[in-house]
Structure 1
Amino acid sequence: MVHQGSHLPGISLAAAAAAIWGVSFVIPSLLMEWSPLEITLSRYFVYGLVSSMVFLRCRKQFAPLTSREWLRAASLAFTGFFMAYLLLTASIQEIGPAVPTLLMGATPVCVALFGNLIRREFPFTRLMPPLAAIFIGLLVVNLDRYGLSVQAEAAVSGRVGGMALGLLEALASLAVLTWYFVDNLVFLRNHPHVSPLQWSCALGLLLGLISLTCLPLALLAGSGAEVAGRALLPFVLASLVLGIGSSWLGGIMWNRACGLLPGSLAGQMIVFWPISGLVLTYLVESRLPTPAEALGAAMALGGVFLGVRATSRPVAARHEPA
């Protein structure tokens, strides 16, 4: 049940969660000695370890999850975390970062539209202006940052088939991530007895098991070789930041926000994810944003403020499927 009072608590939690997720944009570029699979497995192993400790400590406070709820958690953990990441990584390896980054910038718009389609809370005409501002703003940012390299990457790939495959992988990643955000929100809305902390821990437990299951495959593929010759401390610290901060803490805040905000408004809050990643990137690169980047970010944030105003008067909502 969404409370129809002030959206400020939910907005604050959603924005904070998305801002914490921005770390995931920066850390891989700081760990070039480590493969994406190694970073992913270590992140979710830490997430699973923390979740298991919290789950054991607080298990008496948690309502038991049914087998259907555990299956729902498993599907969300596997698709929303692992599948989305692997598809995005495959796309970047195939065609470079430009096109995938442009497409992933549409995540907040897709989540808001799909969420409102599943549970019609507002007329789509009311959502169009803020969503258009968010989309155009993120497009301006990404075109200024990556746009000039798109043609070069297509030339480097040297084949239309490779470009098409990379594009399909990026679109699939966007679709999977959109489904995850909306399905996770629908589950929490329809299962109020499951607390944000419990759900975050359940996802973490399953992701930890998935990481342990994938570890032998990673070793067979050659990951983990020559660890002694690489900087281990930054890798461990990054794994802790990603696992505890982005995954565990960010997940708790996001799950709580999902219970306080309309789905279409929660979707718009995801805009803080790429913007946070940009801010952290500027800090790492020790530079200020270009005028186009600043304009695009301002447009995207302005779209969020328009969205808050547009969703301040909700209409009667249909009940979404469980």
Structure 2
Amino acid sequence: MQVLVIGGAGYIGSHVVRRLLDAGHKVHVLDNMYSGREENLFPEAGFTRGDILEYGPLATLMQQGWDAVVHLAAFKAAGESMVKPEKYSVNNICGTVNILNAMSESDVRRFVFSSSAAVYGEPEYLPVDEEHPARPENYYGFTKLEIERILSWYDKLRGIRFAALRYFNAAGYDPEGRVRGLERNPANLLPVIMEVALGTRERLDIFGDDYDTPDGTGIRDYVHVSDLADAHLQAMDYVSAQDRSLVVNLGSESGISVKEMVETARRVTGEKISAHVTDRRPGDPAKLVASSSRAHELLGWRAERSDVETLVRTSWEVYKGH
């Protein structure tokens, strides 16, 4: 298949590109390089520097006969989205509508969308499955949910079959070391821990150690980025073969606490990794884990690399090289 990967120079996008290439697909990347890295581009994949907000060039590129489009080009900082909603409205929502309109004009009918577990908001029960109420608590999560709603209409009105993949916490790096570019301005736990281990960040702040969990720190569901890449390939194959859309969670179904991640990183890196306990952040639940049973059933997908040791080890192999 000929696949256009939008945002394919980013952290998750580059892993998706690598997986598609490994599977024998012809891949072309569209990226504005706002958060992408040139070192994440593979010579066997084509590349166009462009922006989803520039409709003319986007529509021209879409006319090149793609069998499927994978869309990972979004702003994703939940905190920033609450103070800069305009930025997230324009890029995430308007940009995705541009993609869908260009696809519709060019008769491209297969779409894989990077959604987020942020669509759920505060968990009402665990594990969180796809039937859980969707009540996002930040504007970023709202944009992802709104795009899913738009997708359901384009499915109905334009025959664009989509897979909306609701990620939990992406982490880790390609175990074979083929993706080396670091995330720009990371805010997630593991990259912050890696920066402290390298000495480029002074310390890690642990937001609360008095939760009702075994060690008192929050527990989250982390899924290895290469497992996510597998899911994109499987979702694309499903949408193409079944000619139907789907929405699925992608999580490991087992949680890792902040302290567990820190202690594993200290052991793997051999570094002290200074950590300071501070106040809880408003709205942070004690535990958040996924049910991925629908992805198991429909896609045959499993999180096979998402244990804490692999997450930390593959991250450190990349970070220590920088």
Query: Could you state the TM-score of these two structures normalised by the residue count of structure 2?
Result: 0.28
Higher strand share: 2
More helix by percentage: 1
